[in-house]
Amino acid sequence: MIRVVLLVLVAGLLGSACQPSVRFRSVKKDPNSNPTVDRNNLSKTDDLSEFINDWLYTPYKYGGMSRQGVDCSGFTKLVMSHIYNIPVPRTAQEQYNDGHKLSDSRRVRGDLVFFRNVRGRGVDHVGVFLGEGKFAHAIESEGVVISDLNEDYYRKRYFGACRYGN
């Protein structure tokens, strides 16, 4: 019994990604709209759109990094690796710590956007900025979705943006 409790405590302390108790939600999308936009100077725009569209509604799985399930930082790690050939750390907090911090006016498609759900606990959620206020991320309730940074829910929890690479 003590072994089980210790394993649970260690697993909780080592948490590999977004905390599963953090419940982010998506914006209801108009099925006729195209949520991805061609924007700014990143050269892999079409590849990014294709990758995001292929992964939409992949189920959420805490610690996951596959089509069977992915969490928020696993998803951004996959995007950065497959689209930009840039390795990034595994957790949202580490991705924020290691990235080049940006002002909101300098965000471009492919940058990472970060959120904090609980005060004083640091970054606990991450997504990929798509332009025009949209971002792709993995959430417990729906898996990989596209949401709007301007929605009140996300605007209140927004923490900042980072860039990797150029």
Picking from 26, 127, 131, the residue whose alpha carbon sits closest to that of residue 158 is: 127
User: Which member of 72, 82, 100, 162 is catalytic?
Assistant: 72
* Distance in angstroms (rounded) separating the CA atoms of residues 133 and 33: 14
Is 125 considered catalytic here? Answer: yes
User: Which member of 18, 82, 100, 125 is catalytic?
Assistant: 125
Is 82 considered catalytic here? Answer: no
Number of other residues whose CB lies within 10 A of the CB of residue 51: 16
User: Which member of 82, 100, 137, 162 is catalytic?
Assistant: 137
Residues linked to residue 115 through DSSP beta bridges, in sequence order: 125, 158
Is 100 considered catalytic here? Answer: no
Give the strand pairing for 158-163 and 143-148.
unpaired
Q: Which residues are catalytic, by number?
A: 72, 125, 137
